[in-house]
Amino acid sequence: MNEVVYRDLGAMDYKEAWDYQEELFNRWMEYKRKGSAGDPPDQYLLFVEHPHVYTLGKSGDEKNMLIHKDFLKKINATYYKINRGGDITYHGPGQIVGYPILDLESQRMGLKDYIHFMEHSIIELCRRYGIGATHSEEATGVWLDVNHPHKARKICAIGVRSSRYVTMHGFAFNVNTDLNYFTYINPCGFQEKGVTSMEKELGEKPDYDKVKTELKEILMEGLEKQRTPL
């Protein structure tokens, strides 16, 4: 079975990274259309940091963008409608964006299991820093004070596309993110829930590269366990 390849794309324009995902994803689509004959393509865990950008999922509501598109230039941001699930979210500097291109069949996971896997990986990372994060029964992503109506806040958004058990898009984890950019949207469609970051919760900036390395290790070790035969 082919292993998952980790690739750090560094700082990259959103559209450039999206096109690269599509290229890797389409290799899998072609492989599946041919009846999975021959050697399978590589699977990937891509990490990237984007310039300021808002993305709206295929089921999202444009009303959750609270600013006129002309205002985007003033805040040095761009906007894309994309083919993942979920509503609107923000990507920007200080945020770890993960794009796993995985064949869930070989990972022995269903889509719901996969989303829970990403959530629990982020939760484990937060735990290492003393941040009490958890998942929500009502919404995807990773949250703090999830059951408190006025304190609930999201630290990691998740939005996935899946076809023939192959995934693309993924998660956005706020490390040292400028949270002011979230005030221009209803993040993930929520009007009454907040957004947070590691920096805000810790009261200081964590080492972005150190956090990235730790998250990579958690995810890669978890995927290795998924691929290990019972």
What's the domain range around 160? Answer: 4-227
Which residue reads 């290229």 in tokens? 23
Domains of the chain: total: 1
**CATH number of domain containing 127:** 3.30.930.10
Q: For residue 209, give the H/E element and its range.
A: helix 208-227
Q: How far is CA 27 from CA 21, 31, 43, 227, in A?
A: 10, 6, 10, 21
pLDDT at residue number 192: 62
For 125-175, write each residue's pLDDT tens digit. Answer: 999 999 999 999 888 999 999 988 789 999 999 999 999 999 999 999 999
Number of CB atoms found within 10 A of residue 163's CB: 12
Model pTM greater than 0.75? yes
Instruction: For residues 215 and 212, give the distance between their C-alpha atoms in angstroms, rounded to a whole number.
Output: 5
Q: Is 28 exposed, middle or buried (0-12, 13-18, 19+ CB in 10 A)?
A: buried
Q: Is the pLDDT of residue 229 over 70?
A: no
For 72-118, write each residue's pLDDT tens digit. Answer: 999 999 999 998 888 889 999 999 999 999 999 999 999 999 999 99
Which residues belong to the active site? 188
pLDDT band for position 180 (cuts 50, 70, 90): very high
Q: Is the pLDDT of residue 230 over 50?
A: no
Q: Is the pLDDT of residue 204 over 90?
A: yes
For 19-74, write each residue's pLDDT tens digit. Answer: 999 999 999 999 999 887 888 999 999 999 999 999 998 878 888 888 888 899 99
Write the Ramachandran bin of 98: left for phi over 0, alpha for psi from -120 to 50, otherwise beta: beta
